[in-house]
């Protein structure tokens, strides 16, 4: 059994994500099989592109139910990019029912700015979190997106980023964490997030004092 | 300012050319993936990859090598060389490249630039303006045009281009110093057009980075200086890159 399972529903090249976990010494499996996802000890839910076709692909593959099963069971879950947006109820990108894991809406970035928002930007954390253990406030991460998630529950917003609008760049609730940016493309700081997730959320090691 | 290390690929190897001359090549490494990994681990915000074989031929023979670099490193890739059709541009984005640099294609085919921006967004399409003696050079720098830099900037900005890579060929791979006056005038012209400039060519020490930052360059591409050891990338990133 792999240490962590990466959900493949055809939304982008997932090898970067897999390689990042492998580099940290973990066995990461890319799968499109709902049973494997439902039984996984931990899940990475990545994605790029638009919400409507992504939900369509998840539903057709039977992955939506598998994701609910694992989340209901409290499986540690790491959403990335579209993998954060799909946790909302709805998206301005089109008429589609998203996963409704976190109440909220996915909105379009202001049109006045360069879109997509692509490149390095900093993340302001609102509180401490094991995944951000030993990661300095205002660290830079790599973004590529034209839409952003807006959780209705402010308590689910762990970190924010400014790009014309101040948006939720990290959401967290229980053993779920999701980032709008790509940790696997964010240099040493990004790799540290995956490492922290494995240590302190998945393997439940004690978080050291800073 | 983004300090961006460069990997120039020729025949699968990491090489540098002097002044873009295909007959004056130095091979620095056999394994581009290992080189890219070293750059990313040092904290480089981008890794700049140029397919020299593609730049001359108009195709991208190093697509597979690029895919392996993209998968192996925790930094986004900026890619240039041989991108002269929307299909090739799509193919390079499909493997996960962050942004592309169009050179010859942009000069010869403005409609391609327009289509690429419409499809992928202005933040993913960068136009490379390479000059020799103030005039724009094309086709892997083999051919010289009679087009002035300022005219290209203006035309490209009209098409929606918001970021340029400016290279002074006479300084590239020479480890002398950047053509600061030329960079300054390009930065000024681009700023008026609402665009930013990444400078390339001639950097050989940290003091050069300081001057380029003062001039207002958004970034700087560094190649030979890193490979010869004249510039320590980690040190440069600490001094002038963002802390990540």
Chain A residue with the nearest C-alpha to that of B160: A114
**Other CB atoms within 10 A of residue A146 CB:** 16
Q: Is A184 a catalytic residue?
A: yes
> Residue B243: is its pLDDT beyond 60?
no
pLDDT at B244: 37
Q: Poorest-confidence range of A92-96, B69-73, B76-80, B133-137?
A: B133-137
Q: Do residues B49 and B7 lie in contact, with contact meaning Cβ atoms separated by under 8 Å? A: yes
Which residue in B96, B160, B162 has the most chain A C-beta atoms within 10 A of its own C-beta, making it the best mutation to test that interface?
A: B96
Chain segment B165-181, per-residue pLDDT in tens: 999 888 877 778 999 99
Q: Poorest-confidence range of A197-206, B62-71, B81-90, B226-235?
A: B81-90
Strand, coil or helix: A15: helix
Strand, coil or helix: B80: strand
Nearest to B96 among A16, A118, A190 (CB): A16
Distance from CA of A99 to the nearest CA of B (A): 26
Strand, coil or helix: B193: coil
pLDDT at A190: 97
Q: Do residues B243 and B218 lie in contact, with contact meaning Cβ atoms separated by under 8 Å? A: no
Looking at every residue in chain B, the average pLDDT score rounds to 90
Q: Can you say whether the dihedral through the CA atoms of B145, B147, B152, B158 is positive or negative?
A: negative
Q: Poorest-confidence range of B16-30, B141-155, B195-209, B227-241?
A: B141-155
Going by their DSSP bridges, the two strands B196-200 and B219-222 should be labelled as parallel
pTM for the model stands at: 0.92
> Residue A30: is its pLDDT beyond 50?
yes
Which residues of chain B are within 8 Å of residue A50 when distances are taken between CB atoms?
Answer: none
Nearest to B96 among A13, A187, A190 (CB): A13
Contacts of A33 (CB under 8 A, 6+ apart): none
DSSP letter assigned to residue A198? I
Token pair in block for residue B191: 């700023």
Catalytic position from the list B8, B51, B168, B172: B8
> Residue B55: is its pLDDT beyond 70?
no
Phi and psi at residue A39, to the nearest 5°: -100, 0
pLDDT at B168: 87
pLDDT at A5: 98
Nearest to A114 among B43, B71, B123 (CB): B123
Q: What's the average model confidence in pLDDT over B182-211?
A: 95
CA-CA distance, B19 to B202, in Å (whole number)? 10
What is the band of B223 on the pLDDT scale with cuts at 50, 70, 90?
Answer: very high
Nearest CA-CA partner of A132 in A187, A207, A73, A40: A207
Nearest CA-CA partner of B224 in B27, B2, B33: B27
Cα dist from B79 to A72, A96, B102, B204, whole Å: 42, 35, 9, 22
pLDDT at B59: 65
ipTM score of the complex? 0.87
Q: What's the average model confidence in pLDDT over A84-103?
A: 96
Chain segment A6-15, per-residue pLDDT in tens: 999 987 779 9
Chain segment B111-167, per-residue pLDDT in tens: 999 999 999 999 999 999 988 877 887 665 566 667 889 999 999 999 999 999 999
Chain segment A150-193, per-residue pLDDT in tens: 999 999 999 999 999 999 999 999 999 999 999 999 999 999 99
Using a CB–CB cut-off of 8 Å, the residues of B that contact A are 2, 40-41, 43-45, 67, 70-72, 74-76, 94-96, 98-99, 121-124, 162, 242-244
Nearest to A188 among B41, B95, B123 (CB): B41
pLDDT at A34: 98
Q: Is B130 a catalytic residue?
A: yes
Q: Do residues A121 and B126 lie in contact, with contact meaning Cβ atoms separated by under 8 Å? A: no
* Residues B40-68: b if buried by 16+ CB within 10 A, e if exposed: bbbbbbbbbbbbbbbbbebbbbbbebbbb
Cβ–Cβ below 8 Å for A19 and B72? yes
Cβ–Cβ below 8 Å for B122 and A114? yes
CA-CA distance, A69 to A190, in Å (whole number)? 28
CA atoms within 13 A on the CB side of B211: 16
Which residues of chain B are within 8 Å of residue A141 when distances are taken between CB atoms?
Answer: 244
Which residues of chain B are within 8 Å of residue A179 when distances are taken between CB atoms?
Answer: none
């Amino acid at each position: 059994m792999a240490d962590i399972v990466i959900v493949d529903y055809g939304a982008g090249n997932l090898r970067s994500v897999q390689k990042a976990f492998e580099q940290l010494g973990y066995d990461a499996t890319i799968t499109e099989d709902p049973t494997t996802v439902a039984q996984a000890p931990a899940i990475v839910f990545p994605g790029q592109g638009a919400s409507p076709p992504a939900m369509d692909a998840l539903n057709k593959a039977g992955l939506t139910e598998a994701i609910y099963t694992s989340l209901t069971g409290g499986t540690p879950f790491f959403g990335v990019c579209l993998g954060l947006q799909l946790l909302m109820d709805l998206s301005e990108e089109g008429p589609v029912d998203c996963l409704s894991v976190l109440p909220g809406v996915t909105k379009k970035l202001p049109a006045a700015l360069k879109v997509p928002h692509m490149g390095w930007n900093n993340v302001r954390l609102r509180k401490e979190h094991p995944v951000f253990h030993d990661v300095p406030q205002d660290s830079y991460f790599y973004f590529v997106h034209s839409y952003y998630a807006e959780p209705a529950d402010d308590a689910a917003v762990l970190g924010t980023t400014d790009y014309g609008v101040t948006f939720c760049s990290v959401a967290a609730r229980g053993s779920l964490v999701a980032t709008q940016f790509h940790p696997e493309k964010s240099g040493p700081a990004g790799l540290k997030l995956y490492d922290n997730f494995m240590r302190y959320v998945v393997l439940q090691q004690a978080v050291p004092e800073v | 300012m983004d300090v961006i290390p460069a990997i120039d690929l020729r025949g699968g190897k990491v090489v540098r050319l002097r002044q873009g001359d295909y007959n004056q090549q130095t091979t620095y490494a056999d394994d581009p993936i290992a080189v890219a990994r070293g750059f990313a681990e040092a904290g480089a915000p981008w890794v700049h990859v140029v397919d020299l074989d593609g730049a001359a031929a108009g195709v991208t023979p190093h697509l597979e090598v690029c895919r392996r670099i993209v998968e192996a490193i925790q930094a986004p890739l900026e890619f240039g060389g041989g991108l002269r059709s929307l299909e090739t541009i799509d193919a390079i984005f499909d493997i996960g490249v962050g942004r592309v640099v169009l050179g010859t294609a942009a000069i010869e085919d403005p409609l391609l630039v327009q289509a690429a921006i419409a499809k992928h967004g202005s933040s993913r399409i960068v136009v490379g303006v390479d000059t020799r003696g103030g005039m724009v050079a094309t086709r892997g720098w083999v051919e010289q045009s009679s087009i002035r830099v300022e005219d290209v900037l203006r035309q490209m900005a009209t098409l929606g281009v918001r970021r340029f890579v400016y290279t002074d060929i006479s300084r590239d791979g020479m480890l002398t110093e950047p053509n600061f006056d030329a960079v300054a005038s390009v930065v000024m012209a681009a700023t008026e057009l609402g665009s930013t400039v990444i400078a390339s060519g001639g950097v050989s020490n940290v003091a050069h980075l300081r001057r380029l930052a003062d001039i207002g360059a958004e970034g700087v591409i560094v190649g030979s200086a890193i490979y010869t050891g004249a510039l320590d990338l980690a040190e440069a990133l600490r001094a002038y890159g963002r802390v990540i």
